[in-house]
Amino acid sequence: MDSGITVRALHAHAKINLALHVTGRRADGYHMIETLAVFTRFGDRVEIELADSDGFSVSGRHASAVPLDDSNLVVKARDALRQRAGLQHAPPVAIRLEKNLPVASGVGGGSSDAATVLRGLAETWRLDLDEAELARIGLSLGADVPMCLTAKPLIARGVGDELSAVPGFPALGLVLVNPGIAVSTAEVFNALSHRDNEGLPPLPRSLDFHSIRNWLEITRNDLEPAARAIQPAIGKALSVLNKAGAGFARMSGSGATCFGLFETGNVAKRAAVDIRSRHPDWFVAATRSMTSETDAHGQD
């Protein structure tokens, strides 16, 4: 089953919800959403190597915030793929995770790690799985895993698993800011006052920076008011992004990470340097979003 490549070094992209409307709640308690999501070049990194026995290690700035046992989504993804593919005897692998994304922060780090492991292992083990089967295994790990498997601009509906690609969506300059706080997704959803909001308006016909910014102005992140009430520092992160010149700023997912939109990658970089100098303890990253054409998860 050796694929010929000894070490696979893959990207696990951050997921940014540019807009997120909560449209209802299912009988099983899951919330229905409509979200426009993009994925950034900045993210975690995953290395997969065939080994004598299974191993898992974590390094990076946010390593201490993730579990090392089989509750880690990386390990869950490995085990789920082995089991679902009927491959209990698939060769052992050493998986190394570089945790660059803040944890429990609304950028889907765990889901993205899981998606990257599914992709990387499917190649390493040379599995003949189609996208739908991979997405089904992903969904068993978390509602956001299927979208992280695509890592391309998309609109997600349902619990986040009904995906429509948005071809032609441009690469956006983004600055991600987290004031060093973790937010529990469940706590934010529980604190919602309205759950039956209208869906997203139709996307503008022309997908340029200005039309996208204007469109964002008429959308919301319905989780933001609840998250800000739980963690007021989110409001501070948003005002810092606005002061640094963001054309638009909003919280991603259930927070607390916020994004600022910038017209070019260079302007985003300058803003990030400025924010970092004022808030050296915060997580601050300048990055660009992936387009439908960018090579998601790309091997280094």
Q: Which residue is nearest to ligand ATP (CB)?
A: 110
Q: Which of residues 106 and 146 has its CB atom nearest to ligand ATP in the complex? A: 106
Query: Catalytic site residue 300?
Result: no
Of residues 77 through 106, those in contact with ligand ATP by CB under 6 A are 103-106
222 a catalytic residue: no
Pick from 144, 241, 282, 285: which binds ligand ATP (CB under 6 A)? 144
Per the annotation, does 111 bind a ligand? Answer: yes
| Least distance (Å) between residue 42 CB and ligand ATP | 14
Tell me which residue has tokens 């973790």: 182
Alpha-carbon distance 109 to 43, whole Å? 8
* Contact between 49 and 94 (Cβ < 8 Å): yes
Q: If phi over 0 gives left and psi between -120 and 50 gives alpha, with beta otherwise, what is residue 228?
A: alpha
Q: Per the residue annotation, which of 99, 144, 152, 222 is the catalytic one?
A: 144
Was 140 annotated as part of a binding site? no
For residue 178, state whether it binds ligand ATP (rule: CB under 6 A).
no
Q: How far out from the chain centre does Cα 198 lie? A: 24
Q: Which CB atom, from 43 or from 267, has the smaller least distance to ligand ATP? A: 43
The type of residue at 84 is: R
List helix spans (H) across the chain.
73-84, 109-124, 131-141, 145-150, 185-190, 209-217, 224-230, 233-243, 265-278
Instruction: Note the residues at the interface with ligand ATP (CB under 6 A).
Output: 66-67, 72-74, 103-111, 113, 144, 185, 253-254
**Which residues are known catalytic residues?**
15, 144
- Which residues are annotated binding-site positions? 102-112
